[in-house]
Amino acid sequence: MRVLVALSGGVDSSVAAAELVEQGHEVVAATMKLWGGESDTGCCSVGDVEDARRSAAQLGIDHHVFNYTEEFDRHVVAPYAADHAAGLTPNPCVECNRHLKFDLFMRRADLLGFDAIATGHHARIGRGAGGSLRIRRGADAAKDQSYVLHPLLDGPLERVLFPIGHLEKSEVRERAARLGLRTAAKPDSQDVCFITRRDGRRSFLAERIELHPGQVLDTEGGSVGSVDAVELVTIGQRRGLDLAGGGSRRFVTSVDVEGRVVTVGSEADLLVGHVTIGDVRLAHGIDPACIDGKDLAAQTSAHGAAQPARLSFHGAEPGTTVVRWRSPHRAVAPGQSVVVYDGDEVVASGVVSGT
Amino acid sequence: MVAPSEYVYLDHAATTPLCEQARVAMEPLLASGERARPPSFGNPSGSHALARIATRALDEARERVAAVLGCAPGEVVFTSGGTEADNLAVTGGMPPRPGVPVCGATEHPAVLEPVRALDGVEVAVDAAGRVLPDALAGTLERLGGGTGRRASVVSVMCANNELGTINDLDALAAVVHEHAPGVPLHSDAVQAAPWLDLSVAARAADLVSVSAHKLGGPKGVGALVVRAGSMLSALIHGGGQERGRRGGTPDLAGIVGFAAALEATASQRCSQAARVAALRDELAAELELLEAVSPTVGTTGAAVLPGHLHLLVEGVSAEELLLLLEQRGVCASAGSSCASGAAAGSHVVEAIGVTGRDRAPLRISLGATTTRREIRAAADALRWALARLAERGGSPVLEART
């Protein structure tokens, strides 16, 4: 096959490219230049592009740079800021996968005559019950990235390859070292790629949206403190609230950005029995009737564990469903993705609209 | 995939192959070890016999360069290339000249960036990317009037690197003399040098930048012509080389190659310009028949360098167009690229009023080695690319920015 591999300059994608070369594919690499500003790896990610270019050269494959900075700004960065202003908790990695890697990049690969694209994600693609293609968790549970890949669950999986999904991270590094790739010991990327550790989320958002101070109330409506930016507060948050008095641990149970009010309560106040998700999408070969009420598991953050849950489509608005937790679960912030697994297969996903 | 040797190279404005005359001239200076003979390794700054032999080679090269560029040998300052020559001319050295540098909005970054670093002024250009005398006069008037600021240098390129359009330096020099007497006029002639006789085209400029690798010489060498009477100190301070205007041991092999390439270019200029312009016109006529393609400066009547063909292609991103052309073995350009190697938006195309990415800029630049076969291949490749885009659909192109 002719495969276009997305090479980020990190160890995972360079080993993914190496695997493809070893398998005998005709491989071309491309690095997406996504962010034009400062990042932890330097301005315009020039250092990452160089690592990608050198890895490609070591593997003997051609390497391109695709400039997607305007598209990244439009589809990922601007919505990230707008979501905060609207009191939502966005996941920019999900949006990047949705719009950049598995849309624009894939379309370009198609235009250029490639049969498939590949990335260095820790996830697998396999046949589910009934023979449909499904996204499955990566072999390394600690590094699994199937959660952020959920926009692809009903996409053209037959044209996507995750060549390192069957490997543990340590094996990936070993292979990189064995091949002498300069990425072998490069640290894993952390957090949001366009926000630097030095300046942080707050200063990034302050340049783009208006931040407002807010009151912090307890569940009885009594004032217990204040925050200087309600837009930065997320449900479930415990740290950084600067509350008066000691006592038991208090968590954010709700955020009202428009009313400039943050409510805190005990951990028990945070627990809910269900969550409603919108923009519901089902994996290939799944119809609501076959998973309604089935024992599944749902994951609400990239690094969290999936918890037992059932889906209930009955009575829900079209395009929405109710995720019923088997045991009470912490509330999930509006805007967050909920990914539903059957075993290690991604079967459904949605975005929290309200609890 | 196309083998590198089979590529159709139509990016001569970016760089052009070393010419045979330059290679032959440089060869003795690149001999190694025991085969090395004077003047291959002497340092022209020294005083012993081997140094003097090197000095003589440097002097001769300087005279040959001066003869082609139409200046005195003492007016040639060898540099590491066009970018350094531009930086030296715009700043006037380190510390910089007092005053505010002025340049055209379509200058190469080698001029634009030092002008911006010194908080300078950019003159608006016409639809062909040229600085018109009236626009320059207006800028110089505004700068003088009331603000108390004075121009330190006026920098207008001889011909634009993306569009190939040619500025009227005689007329612009007259404006400088009238509105800012005593202020030097600099011209970046890096693109013009392969095609125009600079002893005529750039005679009105006090400072002229030239680069060797654009005209068949080696990379890493260039020159700034500093006409007598122009004040200039060094940007790179060191051992007082180049009459104190550029420190550092000169790259003698590169300079000798530069001189040979410049002479070869001058001797073939008329015939090459006519031959290449005819090929370019043939390609333009064929491509402009395509519905999606329009000439960028076609209706302005501006004079354009023989090797340049700048087009706008509707409904495609520049990056995808170049990738498709490359699949057919054709190397062209969108005009500029960023440090990572990605295609970047062009300040030149923006300055002439073409905004957004709904029209892809495409620069096809021909050179001394360009053949009719390559022109045919380029036309075929562009037709194929447009058909492929129509069939598959490219990425959605972002609307024009407002």
In this complex, the residue of B324, B343, B392 whose CB is nearest that of residue A67 is B343
Q: Do A65 and B341 touch (CB under 8 A)?
A: yes
Whether residue B45 is found in the same domain as residue B157: yes
The overall average pLDDT reported for chain B is 92
Torsions phi, psi for B27 (to 5 deg): -50, -50
Question: Residue range B193-206: average pLDDT?
Answer: 97
Note the pLDDT of residue A292: 92
Using pLDDT thresholds of 50, 70 and 90, give the confidence band for residue B342: low
Q: What is the 3-state secondary structure (H, E, C) of B110-176?
A: HHHHHHHHCCCEEECCCCCCCCCHHHHHHHHHHHHCCCCCCEEEEECCCECCCCCEECCHHHHHHHH
Domain of B297? 4-15+271-392
Q: Do A112 and B324 touch (CB under 8 A)?
A: yes
Using pLDDT thresholds of 50, 70 and 90, give the confidence band for residue B399: very low
List every span in chain A annotated with CATH 2.40.30.10. Answer: 271-354
The overall average pLDDT reported for chain A is 92
Using pLDDT thresholds of 50, 70 and 90, give the confidence band for residue B343: low
CATH number of A2-120+163-178: 3.40.50.620
Strand partners, A135: A125
CA distance B40 to B251: 11
Question: Residue range B341-351: average pLDDT?
Answer: 79
The answer on pLDDT for B336 being more than 80 is no
Tokens of B287: 């491509």
Residue A298: name the closest of A308, A288, A289 by CA.
A308
The answer on pLDDT for B402 being more than 60 is no
CA distance A334 to A331: 9
Residue A353: in which H helix or E strand, if any? strand A345-354
Question: Residue range B307-316: average pLDDT?
Answer: 93
Residue pLDDT, tens place only, A216-263: 999 898 999 999 999 999 999 987 777 766 667 889 999 999 999 999
Whether residue B278 is found in the same domain as residue B360: yes
Tokens of B115: 């002008």
Residue pLDDT, tens place only, B250-296: 999 999 999 999 999 999 999 999 999 999 999 999 999 999 999 99
Sheet holding A214-218: strands in order across? A223-227, A214-218, A261-265, A251-256
In this complex, the residue of B323, B340, B395 whose CB is nearest that of residue A46 is B340
Tokens of A158: 């037959």
Sheet holding B359-365: strands in order across? B293-295, B308-314, B359-365
Structural contact between residues A231 and A257, judged by C-beta atoms closer than 8 angstroms: yes
CA distance A321 to A310: 10
Note the pLDDT of residue A355: 43
The answer on pLDDT for B209 being more than 60 is yes
CA distance A117 to A169: 21
Question: Residue range A94-114: average pLDDT?
Answer: 95
Return the CATH number at B159: 3.40.640.10
List every span in chain A annotated with CATH 3.40.50.620. Answer: 2-120+163-178
Question: Which of A28, A43, A66 to mutate to test binding with chain B, by most B CBs within 10 Å of its CB?
Answer: A66
Residue pLDDT, tens place only, B38-61: 667 889 998 898 899 999 999 999
Which residues 6+ apart lie within 8 Å of A213 measured at CB? A226, A227, A228, A229, A230, A260
Residue B77: in which H helix or E strand, if any? strand B76-79
CATH number (2.40.30.10, 1.20.20.10, 3.30.43.10, 3.40.50.1860) of A271-354 reads 2.40.30.10
ipTM (interface pTM) = 0.85
Q: Which residues of A touch B323 (CB under 8 A)?
A: 64, 108, 111-112
Q: Which residues of A touch B327 (CB under 8 A)?
A: 112-113
Residue pLDDT, tens place only, B142-191: 998 777 789 999 999 999 999 999 999 999 999 999 999 999 999 999 99
How many structural domains compose chain B? 2
Please classify residue B228 by burial: count the beta carbons closer than 10 Å to its beta carbon, then call 0-12 exposed, 13-18 middle and 19+ buried.
exposed
Q: Which residues of A touch B319 (CB under 8 A)?
A: 66-67
Q: Do A64 and B339 touch (CB under 8 A)?
A: no
Catalytic (active-site) positions of B = 338
Whether residue B176 is found in the same domain as residue B294: no
Torsions phi, psi for B65 (to 5 deg): -65, -45
Residue B366: name the closest of B309, B306, B295, B307 by CA.
B307
Domain boundary among B209, B242, B265: B265
Shortest Cα–Cα distance, A191 to chain B (Å): 23
In this complex, the residue of B323, B342, B392 whose CB is nearest that of residue A33 is B342
Whether residue B220 is found in the same domain as residue B156: yes
Name the residue with higher pLDDT: A213 or A355.
A213
Shortest Cα–Cα distance, A114 to chain B (Å): 12
Residue B347: name the closest of B166, B151, B110 by CA.
B110
The answer on pLDDT for A314 being more than 90 is no
Q: Is residue B290 part of a domain?
A: yes
Residues of chain A in Cβ contact (below 8 Å) with chain B: 31, 33, 44-46, 49, 53, 62, 64-67, 69-71, 74, 104, 107-108, 110-113
Q: Do B324 and A111 touch (CB under 8 A)?
A: yes
Q: Which residues of A touch B398 (CB under 8 A)?
A: 70-71, 74
Q: Is residue B402 part of a domain?
A: no
CB atoms within 10 A of CB B292: 19
Class of domain A211-265: mainly beta
Q: Do B320 and A53 touch (CB under 8 A)?
A: no
Domain boundary among B232, B265, B298: B265
CA distance A270 to B156: 67
Whether residue B245 is found in the same domain as residue B288: no
Residue B122: name the closest of B147, B95, B154, B152 by CA.
B154
Q: Is the dihedral of CA B396, B397, B400, B401 positive or negative?
A: positive
Q: How many residues does chain A have?
A: 355
CA distance B242 to A114: 54
The answer on pLDDT for B400 being more than 50 is no
Q: Residues of chain B with pLDDT > 90: what percent?
A: 80
Q: Please report the number of interchain residue pairs, chain A to chain B, with beta-carbon separation below 8 angstroms.
A: 55
Q: Is residue B397 part of a domain?
A: no
Whether residue B172 is found in the same domain as residue B261: yes
List every span in chain A annotated with CATH 2.30.30.280. Answer: 211-265
Residue B366 backbone class (left: φ over 0; alpha: ψ -120 to 50; beta: rest): beta
